[in-house]
């Protein structure tokens, strides 16, 4: 009877060792996958926001001076809008490996803005073209 008990204990010990080895392999893989997924999500949200703003700028440009458009965009983390007084606007997205990815879009006309910092969350961005101005103005 003792031999059967010892065999069961050995099987349990082997099973626990296999579980520990599997956990040691799978936990780092899951962590990397989650980090990559969060990077993709943040980049995608930023891309959607930049494209919405660029589309609003292009629509205001098409409508001419005195046109105004307001869009509601989601910014996934605190970021600065780049490209003041140019036809390209964008944001630097910080990734989990401490690098940055630039997400940008082109517009049909120069864009200026005074407050370039967006905090995490939803923002109403107003795009207008004042009469006599040589650029379209973004405010939020």
The total number of structural domains in the chain stands at 1
Q: Do 107 and 57 touch, CB atoms closer than 8 A?
A: yes
Residue 111 binned pLDDT confidence (cut-offs 50, 70, 90): very high
Nearest to 138 by CA among 54, 35, 76, 37: 54
In whole angstroms, give the CA distance from residue 101 to residue 130: 32
Question: 21-56, pLDDT tens digit by residue?
Answer: 888 888 887 778 888 899 999 999 999 999 999 999
Q: Give the domain range for residue 90.
A: 2-139
Question: 125-137, pLDDT tens digit by residue?
Answer: 999 999 888 888 8
68-95 burial, b at 16+ Cβ within 10 Å, e below that, comes to ebebebebbeebebebeeebebbbbbeb
């Amino acid at each position: 009877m003792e031999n059967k008990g010892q065999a069961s204990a050995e099987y349990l010990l082997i099973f626990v060792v296999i579980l520990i080895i599997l956990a040691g392999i799978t936990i780092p893989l899951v962590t990397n996958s989650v980090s990559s997924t969060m990077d993709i999500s943040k980049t995608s949200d930023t891309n959607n926001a930049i494209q919405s703003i660029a589309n609003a700028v292009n629509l205001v440009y098409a409508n001419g001076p005195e046109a105004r458009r307001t869009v509601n965009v989601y910014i996934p983390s605190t970021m600065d809008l780049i490209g003041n007084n140019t036809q390209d606007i964008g944001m630097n997205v910080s990734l989990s490996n401490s690098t940055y990815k630039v997400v940008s879009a082109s517009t049909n006309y120069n864009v200026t803005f005074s407050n370039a910092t967006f905090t995490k969350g939803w923002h109403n961005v107003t795009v207008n073209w004042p009469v006599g101005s040589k650029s379209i103005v973004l405010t939020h």
